[in-house]
Amino acid sequence: MAIGTRDALVRAAENLMRTKGYAAFSYADLTETVGIKKTSIHYHFPTKEELGIAIVEEYIARVLNTFEGIERDHQDVAARLGAFFVAFHAGNEGGLLPLCGALAAEMAALPSGLQKLTHRFFDIQLNWLTTILETGVASGEMPRGRGARQKAFLLLSVLEGASFINWATREDEALNQNIVQLIIEEA
């Protein structure tokens, strides 16, 4: 039962963080969502920071699994970046913000542990994208252009930014996957 409760708390709190923000949700919100008492929440997560860290660590693990799957299932750079695009967009369906983007928007208000994890998560994404793009340059699949790191930063910025615009406007103006090709070909 405890494992099920812990997982339910993590899932519910992640959803709250991605819709309301870290600062705006409380354990009282979780009591309503999960249907348990605050004391039970504190049993699993004595502090909100510990809960937030558990959420981000599990999110990072899911993303790393996604990256492994993309690398396993797609051989060329365009297909890998296209799969990243699809995974990123799917993760934001239902009006959810990207978790670490939502946290980054509140960076100054986050406890230090969550600040560090948010930085780490962005580094993980940028490093993975940079590696994929460097592989594309080395194999001749794409021009060097401004460099792999700048292209990785541009792609992640476009996806994160589009998510925030869609969330704020309540319009689902999905980016077209052609943005990946534009970034690959960008000089």
**CATH number of the domain that residue 85 is part of:** 1.10.357.10
- Both tokens of 113, joined, read 């542990």
Q: Please state the domain count of the chain.
A: 1
Q: What is the pLDDT along the chain (187 residues), one digit of tens a residue?
A: 345 889 999 999 999 999 889 999 999 999 988 989 999 999 999 999 999 999 999 999 999 999 999 999 999 999 999 999 989 888 777 778 889 889 999 999 999 999 999 999 999 999 999 999 999 989 888 877 778 899 899 999 988 888 888 777 777 666 666 677 777 776 4
Q: What is the pLDDT of residue 1?
A: 39
Is residue 22 in a domain? no
Count of other CB atoms within 10 angstroms of residue 151: 25
Is residue 148 in a domain? yes
- For 102, the domain range is 53-185
Enumerate residues 6+ apart whose C-beta is below 8 A from 79: none
| Residue positions counted in the chain | 187
Is residue 91 in a domain? yes
Q: What is the pLDDT of residues 37-59, one digit of tens each?
A: 999 999 999 999 999 999 999 99
Is residue 44 in a domain? no
